[in-house]
Every structure is written in structure tokens, then in C-alpha cells.
Amino acid sequence: MAAAATMQASFVSDRLISFKKSTAGELFGLKTVKFSSEMGGLRRPSQRKNITLASSQATEPLLQNTLKRAVAKRAVELVKPGMVIGLGTGSTASLAIEELGKLIQQGKLKDVVGVGTSYQSRVLARQFGVKTVDLNDVIHIDIAFDGADEVDPSMNILKGGGAAHTMGKVIDTMAKKSVILVDQSKVVFELGQIFPVPVEVLPPAISPVLRQLVALGGVPEIRSALRKDGPVITDFGNMVVDVSFPEGIKDPAALEKRIKLIPGVVENGLVTGVASSVLVATQDGDDITIVELDEFVKSLKSVKEAYSKA
């Protein structure tokens, strides 16, 4: 319970929690310092657990932002003239909107329109010159770009750190190609070990939903707002419950469905079987590279094997 409370306290710290996410080193349970530095200065799990918010603010977000920008730039290279693009929410998706806007403003992409997943994405699209249309005015989406809070090696996703997972799921599911953009810190062996599962809930149903979530083995906490007293209220007027699962999430697809079936639940942040591609921004020394998730996972396995033989 104390761990869950700590997680929740961090979680509401305006998402300055990248330092708590599982690193590549943790993905396969590696403990060596050498592996961490070899992989571009990734922290050992022990460091990660004990790091303070202050030190993370001093260093980690700078690198993470560079990685997010790099993956956003790469993603928009996939866009062709005339496409309808799903515009995700969050810091990484926001950078993709900005990069898309640059290409449009430079005249390199014509007749592209975006469909926003949130107020945030629509406002940014307007700011960066990406024309938006209503979801109900399009019959298809060519590519959706979105971020994630965690990704496992099977391309199961955990979303909703910004309480925007409901429309994100609608648009990502509808898109011909759902491209998830992450930096290496988001790749985990098992979903839910660091992040709780966000659940959007109809406010009048909050108590029965909380009870049902406990019955599923979850530890639910209503997400509190940062600069407002009381709960976070989503773009659709609902509340968000962050649910940690102390026993782990062994079957994300099954849990996604079980939470969805609770009356009063609008949507949850588990997204399974939807992503067509996960682009991972990785850092190795001064080099930043963008790779597909399976390639990233393979490279970790080979490093692990090399160290286990040494």
C-alpha cells in the first residue's frame, strides 16, 4: 500500500516521473553498472528507485526531451500528401504535431488534415498550422501518432498519464497504421509495474467502479488535479482512477477487457493488439537512433547474453 501511495504521489507530480519508469537495463533484470553505461547511461534499477524528483528535474528530462523530439521527427517522415492523421496527446505526440506543422508550413506536405484526440492536440494543431477536422467528418485515418507511458515487448501499451487515453484509443484503433512514439525509458518487460492503469469513470458511478476494481485485485486511487482542488476531470467531464496491480499484469489483454466490462467505466489505458509500429528513441553515448521495438528488444537480448558470458 505504501508503494502504491508513493507511486501515486509521483504519478500526480505533473508526469515528471520519467525517472521512475523501467529502463532498458531493467527490462531483462540486468543489474550491472556496466550494462547501464554501455546502453547510454541508463540507470541501474537501484538508482532509479532511489532517485529524487529534484535530481530528475536537473538531468533526466533534458535527455528525454531530446529523444522525444528525435522520434517525433522520424515519425512525421511517414506522412504523405493528402493523408488524414490522428494527433495524439502528451509531450511526445505534441512534438509530432509541431514537426508535422513544420513540414506543412514549409510546403513539403499538402492537403494533410489532423484529427485531434484531445483539447491539447487540437490547440497545438492550430498553433502549428495543422488543419483539423472532426472525427465524425472522416471515414478513415491513415496514420495515428501517439505516445505511451509503457510499452512491453509484445506491443501492448499502457496510456493515460495525461488522462487522454479514451479518444486516443478510438483514433489509434481506427487508424490504418497506429504508430506509437516512445523513448527507451518507456519500454518495460511487464506493463503496470511502474505506472498504474488509468481508468476513465463516469462520476456518478465512482463508488461501485472503485469496488469492482478492488475485486479485480487493483489498488485504485482517484487522480487529483494539480492546480485545482479535487479530482482531475477529463475532456469529457469524467474522473480518472489510477489502479495499481500489486500482483502484476500477466495478461494485459484480459485485464483490459475485464476493466472495460465494469459498468460506469468509460475506458481504460491498456491498449492491446492495436499498435502497428512502436518507434523507440534510444541513446548510446552521443548517438541517438530510432529503432522499431523488436529491434530494440533484440539488441537488449544480445547485450544481456554478452554480459552473462563475460
Burial 86-98 (b: 16+ CB within 10 A, else e): bbbbbbbbbbbbb
Question: In the bound complex, what is the minimum distance in angstroms from residue 304's beta carbon to ligand R5P?
Answer: 26
Interface region with ligand R5P, contact rule CB under 6 A, candidates 135-143, 153-161, 200-208, 294-302: 153-161
Give the residue with the Cβ less far from ligand R5P, 94 or 132.
Answer: 94
Q: Which of 21, 44, 69, 159 binds ligand R5P (CB under 6 A)?
A: 159
Q: Which of 60, 98, 149, 221 binds ligand R5P (CB under 6 A)?
A: 149
Give the residue with the Cβ less far from ligand R5P, 76 or 303.
Answer: 76
Q: Which of 36, 56, 89, 268 binds ligand R5P (CB under 6 A)?
A: 89
The CA-atom distances, in angstroms, between 133 and each of 31, 219, 237 are: 48, 38, 22
- Binding of ligand R5P by 21 (CB under 6 A): no
Query: Burial of 177 by CB count in 10 Å (0-12 exposed, 13-18 middle, 19+ buried)?
Result: middle
Report the candidate in 250, 300, 294, 284 with the shortest Cα–Cα distance to residue 70: 284
- Binding of ligand R5P by 116 (CB under 6 A): no
| Alpha carbons within 13 A on the beta-carbon side of 301 | 8
Interface region with ligand R5P, contact rule CB under 6 A, candidates 69-77, 164-172, 199-207, 277-285: 164-172
Q: How many residues bind ligand R5P (CB under 6 A)?
A: 18
Q: Which of 30, 79, 143, 148 binds ligand R5P (CB under 6 A)?
A: 148
Q: Please answer whether residues 279 and 74 qualify as being in contact, where contact means their C-beta atoms are separated by less than 8 angstroms.
A: yes
- Binding of ligand R5P by 165 (CB under 6 A): yes
Sheet holding 197-201, edge to edge: 219-222, 239-244, 197-201, 265-268
Cell of 276: 502497428
